[in-house]
Amino acid sequence: MIEDILADAGAKMAKAVAHTQSEFSSIRTGRATPALVEKLPVAYYGSEVPLQQLAGFSVPEARMLVIQPYDRGAMAAIEKAIQHSDLGINPSNDGHVIRLAFPPLTAERRQDFVRVVKHMAEEGRVAVRNLRRAARHELEALESDGGMAADERERAEKDLEKLTTRHVGDIDVALEHKERELLEV
């Protein structure tokens, strides 16, 4: 039973770390990357569809992203979704593909992005700690029901703490990498 609680907590913590890392990928670093637009909702035939289901992406240059729709009828909808997004980039449409030219980031904008990324990392750490607290409550409930002894619970809590420390460390490493990437000119 203890192993199940720890395994469940570890799996959920890993998902929290993965979610935080995917959030990091949505932050622009001055380089073009499909992660910036692939989740963008596009109004396509009356329903909201992620852009990645409507088009293919390529990055011919560091600051250029080319979007090639699978259906040319979706061009206008894709272009409109990009214009209404918070990217702040005007798409260039030649009838076959949509090009997005990313301007270089200013030093002030880079610092803003660093603050945003640090906030995302803190949210990820809080999520991991909340999962630790939930697992600790489960362990305490198991002990009070007579399912384990106090020393077993303490040992399990130490293992849980190691698990938490490892996952928080993973978030910190990802944050450090993203910060370096953002501040790189």
Residue 95 pairs with which residues in a beta bridge?
A: none
DSSP class of residue 29? Answer: -
Give percent above pLDDT 70 in the chain. 99
Among all chains, which residue has been given the structure tokens 């949505």?
26
Query: Does residue 185 carry a pLDDT above 80?
Result: no
Please list the residue range(s) of the chain that carry CATH number 1.10.132.20.
2-25+106-183
DSSP class of residue 94? Answer: -
pLDDT in tens, 47-96: 999 999 999 999 998 889 999 999 988 899 999 999 888 777 889 998 89
User: How far, rounded to the nearest angstrom, does the alpha carbon of residue 84 sit from its chain's CA centroid?
Assistant: 21
Is the pTM for the entire model greater than 0.85? no
Please list the residue range(s) of the chain that carry CATH number 3.30.1360.40.
34-101
> Exposed, middle or buried, 145 (CB in 10 Å: 0-12/13-18/19+)?
exposed
> Exposed, middle or buried, 171 (CB in 10 Å: 0-12/13-18/19+)?
buried
Token pair listed for 71: 């259906």
Q: Which of 112, 27, 31, 30 is nearest to 39 (CA)?
A: 27
- H-helix segments, the chain: 2-25, 75-84, 107-144, 150-183
Q: How far apart are CA 7 and CA 102, in angstroms?
A: 43
- Arch. (CATH architecture) of 2-25+106-183: Orthogonal Bundle (1.10)
Instruction: Classify domain 34-101 by CATH number.
Output: 3.30.1360.40
Q: What are phi and psi of 11, to 5 degrees?
A: -65, -45
Query: Does residue 17 carry a pLDDT above 90?
Result: yes
**What pLDDT sits at residue 62?**
83
SS3 at position 39: coil
